[in-house]
């Protein structure tokens, strides 16, 4: 029987703290406790099934690039520990606590403070990347349109149609995630301003969209490879493998620099630079091979 479990947890959005708390409590009741969160997913370890209470809090100064917790964040963690909460792990500005007490004292956070901390955290870490992917997806899809007007028959039988649709689906995924968050943020600000709490988020449908889009991407890539030949299949396999290898190496480099107490600014600069150079070399190499071999 395995003592470790890995789950991508694509349905758990960074800002959906209530869903994360419920999910982790359900996993603990099944005998699995969260150990850490990595770039690829969530890591659990086997433990006796037990009713636990989880609490998700956000701290603006937190970062995955920090070599350690900032002093103010460490003081907050000590305050929570004194109230019976133990820090499980961090994810960017998110902190996940657990309590084994039957009725633990809640970690008091004002709704307005929580909401604005989430908003600043999303703006700092997740929204820029999502916006870049939306723009990139639409741009790459739009770049295929001239081929449609120049040679409609050749466009339908070539790689342009498949590439354009794949990029369009990428834009759809990130647009759904970003749009849902912005709508929730606007409505929650209204509710908090009226003296209420943050609104429920209802993010489970996002995972369904992800699965549908992933299936569509696989169908499109398979169709492109069948129509254009086996060599295209090899190129696509190298591209996908290289993409995940790039992510893995980038995260390992970030963790290596964190362990060496490198400053967060330097760590961010080095890891982002490495990721960009690797991606450029990978795509450039595939394009060069396609132009020279075919």
Identify the CA nearest to 162 among candidates 255, 256, 228.
228
Average pLDDT, whole number, for the chain? 81
d(CA 192, CA 185): 10
In this prediction, residues 195-206 reach a mean pLDDT of 77
CA neighbor of 162 nearest in space, from 113, 226, 102, 87: 226
Of the listed ranges 9-13, 134-138, 263-267, the least confidently predicted one is 9-13
Contacts by 269-278, CB closer than 8 A, 24 or more apart: 271/65, 274/249, 274/250, 275/246, 275/247, 275/250, 278/242, 278/246, 278/249, 278/250
What per-residue confidence (pLDDT) applies to 282?
79
Question: pLDDT-based confidence at 287, cuts 50/70/90?
Answer: low
pLDDT computed for residue 147 by the predictor: 59
Model-level pTM? 0.77
CB neighbourhood size of 44 (10 A): 22
Percent of the chain as helix, strand, coil, to the nearest 5 = 65, 10, 25
Residue 36 · residue 218 · CB < 8 Å = no
Confidence category of residue 27, pLDDT binned at 50, 70, 90: very high
**pLDDT reported for residue 228:** 62
**Strand partners for 6:** 43
Q: What is the pLDDT of residue 227?
A: 66
- Higher-confidence residue of 131 and 156: namely 131
Mean pLDDT confidence for 151-172:
67
Task: Flag whether pLDDT at 151 surpasses 70.
Answer: no
Q: Taking residues 176-200, what's their average pLDDT?
A: 88
Question: Are residues 176 and 209 in contact, defined by beta-carbon separation less than 8 angstroms?
Answer: yes
What kind and span of H or E run contains 57? strand 53-58
Q: What is the pLDDT of residue 129?
A: 80
Distance CA 168, CA 142 (A): 9
Going from N- to C-terminal start, the domains of the chain cover 4-110, 126-223, 229-294
pLDDT over 70 (residue 17): yes
CA distance 257 to 269: 11
Q: Band of the pLDDT at 24, cuts 50, 70, 90?
A: very high
- Which residues are within 8 A (CB) of 87 and not within 5 positions of it... i.e. 6 or more apart? 77, 80, 81, 95, 96, 97
Residues 136-145 have pLDDT tens digits of: 888 877 776 6
* Over residues 200-208, mean pLDDT: 74
């Amino acid at each position: 029987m395995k003592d470790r479990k890995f789950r991508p947890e694509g349905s758990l959005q960074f800002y959906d703290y209530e869903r994360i708390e419920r999910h982790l409590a359900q996993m603990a009741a099944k005998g699995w406790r969260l150990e850490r969160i990595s770039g690829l997913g969530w890591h659990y370890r086997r433990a006796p099934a037990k009713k636990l209470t989880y609490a998700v809090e956000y701290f603006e100064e937190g970062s995955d690039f920090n070599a350690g917790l900032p002093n103010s964040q460490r003081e907050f963690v000590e305050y929570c520990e004194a109230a019976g909460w133990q820090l499980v792990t961090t994810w960017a500005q998110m902190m996940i606590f657990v309590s084994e007490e039957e009725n633990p004292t809640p970690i008091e956070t004002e709704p307005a403070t929580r909401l604005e901390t989430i908003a600043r955290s999303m703006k700092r870490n997740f929204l820029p990347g999502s916006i870049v992917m939306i723009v990139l997806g639409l741009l790459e899809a739009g770049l295929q349109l001239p081929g449609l007007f120049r040679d409609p028959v050749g466009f339908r039988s070539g790689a342009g149609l498949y590439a354009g649709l794949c990029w369009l689906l990428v834009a759809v995924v990130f647009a759904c995630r970003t749009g849902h968050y912005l709508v929730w943020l606007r409505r929650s600000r209204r509710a908090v301003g009226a003296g209420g709490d943050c609104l429920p988020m209802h993010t489970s449908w996002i995972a369904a969209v992800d699965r549908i889009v992933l299936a569509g991407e696989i169908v499109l890539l398979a169709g492109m490879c069948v129509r254009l030949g086996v060599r295209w299949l090899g190129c696509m396999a190298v591209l996908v493998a290289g993409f995940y290898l790039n992510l893995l190496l980038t995260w390992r480099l970030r963790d290596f620099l964190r362990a060496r107490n490198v400053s967060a600014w330097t760590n961010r600069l080095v890891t982002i630079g490495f990721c960009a150079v690797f991606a450029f070399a990978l795509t450039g190499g595939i394009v060069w091979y396609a132009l020279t071999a075919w």
